[in-house]
Amino acid sequence: MPSLGRTARSLSTAVLFSGVVLVSVSACTAPVVINPAPYAADPQCASVMLGIPEVVGGLSLRPTSSQATAAYGTTAMITVRCGVEPPGPSTDRCVAIDTPSASQDWLVTETDTSWIAVAFGRSPATEVVIPKIRADKAVSEVLAQLSPAASLAKPNGLQCL
């Protein structure tokens, strides 16, 4: 018959091992594959990405496959890419977002399935793709959460009129 001490050691070893396996399995989430933007290696993107919040629209930040990218959620993900071509003067809808920590203009276009917002007046620019199923009526709220990070790129003199 095993002793109580030996049984307790065996049980604690099993619990410890199962905890290690659980942590290992949960840490193996595959990164979201996102193509990097053309200027993702711009040092300004490092500042932008360091400012990206952990949660946007109630969705948690996920690991991604490429430099200067971010993804939120597991399905119908909100994606972010720093280093897209900075837009010049445009007739696209321009939305000015003012938060306590930043003011950022965004050019917003609509597709059948998504809203695409590009930070206006920053170089490099940051692009946010918001599936309509996620935020058809809340695009401004999502952009307000991402504006402080996008505004960390250097201004290029352009702004919404």
Residue 68 has a pLDDT of 98
Mean pLDDT of 15-21: 37
The confidence score (pLDDT) of residue 153 equals 97
> pTM for the full model?
0.81
Q: What is the pLDDT of residue 160?
A: 87
The highest-level CATH class for domain 43-155 is: alpha beta
Question: Exposed (0-12), middle (13-18) or buried (19+): which is 116, by Cβ within 10 Å?
Answer: middle
Instruction: Look up tokens 């952009």; give the residue.
Output: 143
Residue written as tokens 């919040």?
53
Grade residue 12 by pLDDT with cuts at 50, 70 and 90.
very low
Predicted pLDDT at 161 = 83
Mean pLDDT, residues 62-90 taken together: 96
- In which element (H, E) is residue 132 found? helix 132-135
Query: What confidence tens digit (pLDDT) does each residue in 103-147 have?
Result: 999 999 999 999 999 999 999 999 999 999 887 668 899 999 999
